[in-house]
Amino acid sequence: MAEDNILIDVQNLTKHFPIRRGIIFERITGSVQAVDKISFTIRRGETLGMVGESGCGKTTLARVILGLMPATSGHVYFDGEDVCSLKGEKLRLLRKDMQLVFQDPYASLNPRMTVEAIVRTPMKAFNLYSNAEQKEKVGEILNTVGLTDFHAKRYPHQFSGGQRQRIGVARALAASPKFIIGDEPVSALDVSIRGQVLNLLKDLQDEFHLTYLFISHDLSVVQHVSDRVAVIYLGKLMELATGDDLYREPLHPYTQALLAAVPPPSPRARRTERVVIHGETPSPANPPSGCRFRTRCPKAIVECAEIEPPLKEERPGHVVACIRV
């Protein structure tokens, strides 16, 4: 496969959900285009941030990458292996190396399992250690994520949201994976806890040489943790650049609008030009022709409805999909 230091290579990944109508004579009347021909790579040890509005396909993308949902077309190469073509036991074994941290720390932990049982799940699934070692490991991992081994015998409802999210992180770490997807791992937490969990994730990355795909709708959170940032709109990749580039000089009008919406730390610090977008996100079942953002884009011209803008490398390492750039 490609370069040696690339861990994840996503090529033209597409996920459409069919819309079914009718009870007896069921027919497919259309499809929700949750993810449409997205390509990007993630290098080893890197954090790729992914931002986009609610419903733009971020969670779907994460689940397709992990093989939790089949892709409609396209490929995901993980360490050179195509996740989309694997099935059954082979796919399961691959999950040892790729794990997921969920958005909702309340829904993602089984209320009837003790913390120890939850964190042991991946170890048991892959027969990693002996019984006694597993228990010991659970204690170690809990310490790593800032809990204590006392907590092992307790149930999820006895913890706060931030602690629960740490349990979720502990579970993701349990099988010593190479790659972790954080699907909005901090958006359910309040601001004071958010920083703690973000710093925890960063520390763990340094300690275990992890690669992250960090999904969020919060630009400031993504800026804090990411090396590079991808911007998604309605299932399409709009812009991808290093964090510094993207935040300093956003090229795509959508990115510019997103950044303009971040409240500045002081009112005087507000940038002079402020792009404001109006209207609702169009339905992914019936996306606009050409550029998907054109219906809300302040810079849209007639051609935008005709040409589907290709990704072009505007500057080294900075790609953008807009014909107006």
Partner 1 sequence: MSAEAIQARILEADLLAGAEKNRLLSILGELWKKKVVFVGGVILFSLLFVGIFAPYVSPYDPLKQELNIRISPPIWMAGAKAGHILGTDALGRDILSRLIWGARISLTVAVGATALSIGIGASLGLLAGFSGRKVDDLIMRLVDIQLAFPFILLAIALVSVMGASLQNVVIVLGITTWATPCRLVRAEVLSIKEREYIVAARASGQRTWSILLGQILPNAATPILVLATFDLGRFILSEASLSYLGLGVPPPTPSWGSMVADGQDYLSTAWWVSTIPGFIIMFACLGGNLLGDFLRDVMDPELKE
Could you tell me the smallest distance in angstroms from the CB atom of residue 9 to partner 1?
20
Q: What is the β-pairing status of strands 6-21 and 73-78?
A: antiparallel
Nearer to partner 1, 88 or 316 (CB): 88
Taking the C-alpha atoms of residue 196 and residue 179, their distance in angstroms, rounded to an integer, is 21
The 3 state secondary structure assigned to the chain is CCCCCEEEEEEEEEEEEEEEECCCCCEEEEEEEEEEEEEEEEECCCEEEEECCCCCCHHHHHHHHCCCCCCCEEEEEECCEEHHHCCHHHHHHHCCCEEEECCCCCCCCCCCCCHHHHHHHHHHHCCCCCHHHHHHHHHHHHHHCCCCHHHHHCCHHHCCHHHHHHHHHHHHHCCCCCEEEEECCCCCCCHHHHHHHHHHHHHHHHHHCCEEEEEECCHHHHHHHCCEEEEEECCEEEEEEEHHHHHHCCCCHHHHHHHHCCCCCCHHHCCCCCCCCCCCCCCCCCCCCCCCCHHHCCCCCHHHHCCCCCCEEEECCEEECCCCC
Nearer to partner 1, 105 or 287 (CB): 105
Nearer to partner 1, 119 or 238 (CB): 119
Could you tell me the smallest distance in angstroms from the CB atom of residue 64 to partner 1?
12
Could you tell me the smallest distance in angstroms from the CB atom of residue 155 to partner 1?
4
Could you tell me the smallest distance in angstroms from the CB atom of residue 72 to partner 1?
19
Nearer to partner 1, 90 or 248 (CB): 90
Query: Which residue type occupies 233?
Result: Y
Could you tell me the smallest distance in angstroms from the CB atom of residue 218 to partner 1?
20
Nearer to partner 1, 142 or 229 (CB): 142
Nearer to partner 1, 108 or 255 (CB): 108
Could you tell me the smallest distance in angstroms from the CB atom of residue 217 to partner 1?
18
Residues that bind partner 1 (CB under 8 A): 63, 66, 68, 92-93, 95-96, 99-100, 102, 104, 107-113, 121-122, 124-126, 148, 150-151, 153-155, 157, 168, 171, 174-175
Cross-strand partners of 78:
8, 81
Nearer to partner 1, 89 or 273 (CB): 89
Nearer to partner 1, 21 or 312 (CB): 21
Could you tell me the smallest distance in angstroms from the CB atom of residue 112 to partner 1?
5
